[in-house]
Amino acid sequence: MMTWCWPSAPKGSLLPPPVSLFWTFLTPGSDSTEAFYRYSRATSMAEFEAAAALHWSPGLNVIYADVNDNIAMWATGRLKRWPHSNNSFTLLDGANRQHDFLGYQPFAANPRVINPREGYIFSTNNPYPTGNPRRALPGYYAPAERAERLGALLAEGDQFDFARFKAMQLDDLRPQALAITEDALPLLTPDLLPHRYQETARAARELLAEWDGRFQPDSTGALIYQRWEDRLMEALFADELGEHYDHFRDTFMARKSFASLYWKPASPWWDNRRQPIMDGRQAAIEHAWINTVESLTEQLGHNPRQWTWGRVASLQHKHPLADRVPFAGRLSSEKVTISGTTGSLNNMVFNRGGEHYEVIAGPSTRRLINLADPASSLGISPMGQSGNPLDRHYDDQAQLFARGSYRAQIFDWLGIEAMPDRLTLRPRRSSQRPP
């Protein structure tokens, strides 16, 4: 048994240089195991809420439903009480008592939604409703783009079935991107570019104008927009952030800031410190368009109809040893094209800045469960049910997942016993006596 020791101070674990990190996850007393144990045995909403209070870290949104038609959602985790002088994005002076940690809020003060009048609850790791009386947590949640899209789809009707929920899970539309495109189009004129690129730019603009906002493998507008957004974000932030921009561009803060600042032409962020002659929002939009057309032409040729999302956006489940051990790359799944993008409900997260968009995060699973009829449930895994690369179930769901397909999930015991495959786990017998 290995014992791991790490020095700590009254204000948290010590890190080099002399910096201490206060993290609730490392605080003695957190008992997430007990919380999840009680979730599974709760017989009322009150018991479930009491179990949620036991979970300290990491912060999670927990959704609840019961047979009495109650629905609820809690932000679980212990929320710190800090003085007004605190800024969570900067290092604090540990010797200044004004910055001292003031303890935790009671769980009753955590954000929550209980039996809302809309009759439904959802979470995309988004902020709680604006009118919620509980304490706001700026910076704690993901951008609201996916939540806004899901809220709009749920508001379209009163009756839902698996087909509609499946369409929501696989939705690859970005209304935010479509709104920005419509606003910028008048500025994206072909004559901005050198003569040899002008016909290409004219065709690219037409394709972008026809784009429906969806990120599908055969979409040209999706790739043109994504490359332009990447270049515009760089024009907006890179001159101020310098070498730190590479770390900033793939963060939630970058996406939130871009979505807000795009609609603020008077913001000083549109000033260009490197090239003052290119100051202003319009100049940044036009320069990003020039870079987009030139870079895609160099990468994919002069015909914009061949600039499809499927040529540069892909998903591959890489084995952890793929880049560390010879031939371990064979344990990775095949590379497939994708629908979806960063910010769509079918959330395919990738790093910006390069010529290709390789997914690094996304849905860990997709499930559709009717609590009134569990036997009809559907689900899919990104890879398979086995962690053994030699097993036929290691990656037999990867292609189905990429295509947006589902498989039946068996809930009744007779159906489970009738399955031909069976895995039996037996504890190893130890010759050593317990202490």
Question: Does residue 326 lie in a domain region?
Answer: no
What number is the average pLDDT over the span 174-178?
Answer: 97
The pTM of the whole model exceeds 0.75? yes
Give me the domain span that covers residue 64: 8-121
Question: Does residue 271 lie in a domain region?
Answer: yes
CB 412 within 8 A of CB 376: no
Residue 390 Cα to chain centre, angstroms: 31
Distance of alpha carbon 190 from alpha carbon 199, whole angstroms: 7
The more confidently predicted of residues 434 and 276 is 276
What number is the average pLDDT over the span 231-246?
Answer: 93
Distance of alpha carbon 332 from alpha carbon 321, whole angstroms: 9
Q: How far apart are the first and last CA of the chain?
A: 13
The count of domains in the chain is: 3
CB 50 within 8 A of CB 41: no
Is residue 60 located within the same domain as residue 179? no
Question: Does residue 153 lie in a domain region?
Answer: no
Question: Does residue 390 lie in a domain region?
Answer: yes
Distance of alpha carbon 420 from alpha carbon 111, whole angstroms: 46
Is residue 182 located within the same domain as residue 112? no
CB 376 within 8 A of CB 384: no
Question: Does residue 134 lie in a domain region?
Answer: no
pLDDT tens string 24-37: 887 777 778 999 99
Is residue 181 located within the same domain as residue 300? yes
Is residue 291 located within the same domain as residue 407? no
Is residue 190 located within the same domain as residue 104? no
Question: Does residue 255 lie in a domain region?
Answer: yes
pLDDT-derived band at 431 (thresholds 50, 70, 90) equals low
Quote the pLDDT of residue 111.
Answer: 87
Is residue 211 located within the same domain as residue 287? yes
Is residue 190 located within the same domain as residue 267? yes
CATH number for the domain spanning 221: value is 1.10.1400
Quote the pLDDT of residue 133.
Answer: 47
Is residue 87 located within the same domain as residue 179? no
Long-range CB contacts (within 8 A, 24+) of 387-390: 389/319, 389/331
Question: Does residue 141 lie in a domain region?
Answer: no
Lowest mean pLDDT among 63-67, 84-88, 383-387, 403-407: 84-88
Question: Does residue 353 lie in a domain region?
Answer: no
Using N-to-C axis directions, what is the helix angle for 281-300 and 220-241, rounded to 10°? 130
The torsion angles phi and psi of 240, rounded to 5 degrees, stand at -80, -35
pLDDT tens string 82-135: 766 556 667 778 788 887 878 888 999 888 999 999 889 999 988 787 665 444
Phi/psi region, residue 103 (left: phi>0; alpha: psi -120 to 50; beta: rest), is left
CATH number for the domain spanning 29: value is 3.60.20.10
Quote the pLDDT of residue 274.
Answer: 77
**Partners of residue 368 on adjacent β-strands:** 378
Mean pLDDT of the chain: 88
pLDDT-derived band at 1 (thresholds 50, 70, 90) equals low
Is residue 112 located within the same domain as residue 15? yes
Is residue 300 located within the same domain as residue 182? yes
Residue 302, token pair as written in the block: 């002069």
CB 177 within 8 A of CB 344: no
Lowest mean pLDDT among 81-85, 141-145, 210-214, 332-336: 81-85
